[in-house]
Structure 1
Amino acid sequence: MCGDAGVVTLDIDPHVTAAARERLSALGYQRVAVTGDGTAGRPNASPYERIFVSFAVPRVPMTSVEQLAPGGRALMTLGTSSPSWPGLAVIDKRPDGTAEAELRTVEFGHRAGVGFGRLFLSPSFRDTITAAEGPTRRTRVAPPADTARGMWLALDGLYLGLVRHFGAKDLAIGAPECGSWVRVRAVGSRQWDVGTYGPRDIWAEIQDAAARWRAAGEPAAYRIHFDTDDVQRATSPNGALTWQLPR
């Protein structure tokens, strides 16, 4: 779509870049396919009008911001150790060279890049959450809707280590590192049974994040602030809800 002038593609796997060079050449394109760390970019060919990172990162690589041309834009999937609630980071470089960044809610994102560990729910853990019998508490407080993605993104940032079992009939979320889980089942008109297990009260964490999200105006996007090279924060437009992005 962009032509072959001024386009650079990077991958950390030399087999991938070798195959890309061969296939692009066979199609008649001049190509620059480079083996290297995508988070480091390729500064000797910068600045770039567009940067697209096709793997998930825990925070915005500042190299991407530095290598953007004025008026340029970078896109990348941001997330925590959980794969359940990704966000799309959109970074725009202003004409004066300063950057403006936004974290938007999305339904799907890219897989994690090399060196970025992710949590997951093992089959046995998923079975435990969905089939376990035990004490429950009945509530008229509805779980947040799946479409309230701004809330789930905030939950992921505020309470790290939660992974959702999207294949379950009911709302089922676990914390693999400590074995905690919550399951919420509809049992009638505006009634739900909540079962929890483990040292974390995940249902209370969900309700806290939901309350803070509502107080922030139920945002679907957050501003990303670059406080220092080591500190990045996501903040609601009214400033009422904020969390620090993972290091």
Structure 2
Amino acid sequence: MVCGSGEQGLPGREFDRIFLSYTVECVPTALVEQLAPGAELLAHVTSASPSWPGLAVVRRTADGHVTAELRAVEFAHRAGHGMARIWLSEEFRQRMAAESGAWTQRSMLAPPADSDRGFWLAADHLLGGGLVRDFGAEHLAIGAPSCGSWMRAEPVGHRRWSVTVDGPRDIWKEIQDLADRWRAACSPDRYRLYFDADGGQRAASECGRLAWQLPAPRPLDEGATS
């Protein structure tokens, strides 16, 4: 047993399996370097929002080549030490559920389904961050605590939705615009994960039409302890 920075691992050692028991904003590059040939690393990756996590699966082939992908998953571990998180207060949840909002409209456009996890994973990173879903609500309800914006969408008949929006952000339009991009990218449920030479990390669909940059790794002295 070793006590130290979980994101630093054990420099100079190689491992066949590495599993992070906490969530990170990007894959710790030090741990990737410690993968032995034929080894695998698993790490939950998400933004400050806890709503739509991904699972990074990183492999080093027998010849030393690193391949990785980011899979959309339903649940993730708790955030690592020092990682910021945002939440919906009970007061905000009540506003989202009961208030009339700035406007309400009927729409024939359905929101992406809960099973479209590849979309929600992309939304977590591409919609400006700060969006949190109220999974306790009866229907789709998403808020942005930092600016007070929110939306809810409720079915009101066959292929009809009642959409209510409030705040400076039109979250419903943001979701529909991204859904069009996601479908144009063949509705991926996982994304390739690339490690740049300068330490940056980028997720992209197979066709490359949908992509985003992950946050830069934090200095090791600010890393998580595990």
Structure 2 match to 1:49: 16
Looking at structure 2, the residues matched to 36 and 209 of structure 1 have their Cα atoms a distance apart, in angstroms, of 40
TM-score normalised over the length of structure 2: 0.92
The residue number in structure 1 matching 2:153 is 184
Q: Give the helix-richer structure, 1 or 2.
A: 1
Query: Which residue matches 2:126?
Result: 158
Change over 3 Å in CA distance of 1:74–1:35 after alignment to 2: same
SS in 1 for 2:22: strand
Q: SS of 1:57's equivalent? A: coil
1:38-187 equivalences under 5 Å are 38-44=6-12, 46-134=13-101, 135-159=103-127, 160-187=129-156
Equivalent residue pairs, number? 214
Match of 1:220 in 2: 189
RMSD (Å), alpha carbons: 1.0
* Residue identity in the other structure for 1:82: S
Query: Unaligned regions of 5+ residues in structure 1, if any?
Result: 1-32
Tell me, yes or no, if the aligned pair for 1:62 and 1:229 is still in contact at 8 Å.
Answer: no
Identity %: 56
| Structure 1 stretch displaced more, 80-89 or 229-238 | 229-238
Alpha-carbon separation, structure 1, partners of 2:4 and 2:196: 27
Counterpart in 2 of 1:205? 174
- For residues 37 and 104 of structure 1, the distance between their equivalents in structure 2, rounded to whole angstroms, comes to 25
Distance 1:76 1:138 in 2: 41
**Quick one: structure 1 residues 138 and 218, their matched pair in 2 at CA, closer, same or farther if it must change by over 3 Å?**
same
**Which of these two proteins has the greater Rg computed from alpha carbons?**
1
**Runs of 4+ residues over 3 Å off in structure 1:** none
- Structure 1 position 153, deviation (Å): 0.5
Amino acid of the structure 2 residue aligned with 1:116? M
Quote how far apart the aligned CAs of 1:235 are.
0.3
Note the alpha carbon deviations across 1:30-64, whole angstroms, 9 max, x for none.
xxx221111111124x1000000010000011011
Q: Is the 8 A contact 2:140 2:154 kept in 1?
A: yes
| Alignment partner, residue 24 of structure 1 | none
The one of the two structures with greater contact order (alpha-carbon pairs below 8 A, sep at least 6) is 2
Provide the C-alpha distance between the structure 2 equivalents of 1:35 and 1:63, rounded to a whole number of angstroms.
Answer: 16
- Equivalent-residue separation in structure 1 for 2:184 and 2:68 (angstroms): 22
C-alpha separation between the residues in 1 aligned to 2:133 and 2:199? 29
Supply the distance in 1 between the matched residues of 2:153 and 2:50 (Cα, whole angstroms).
20
1:55 alignment partner, SS class: coil
Contact 1:81 1:117 in 2 (8 A): yes
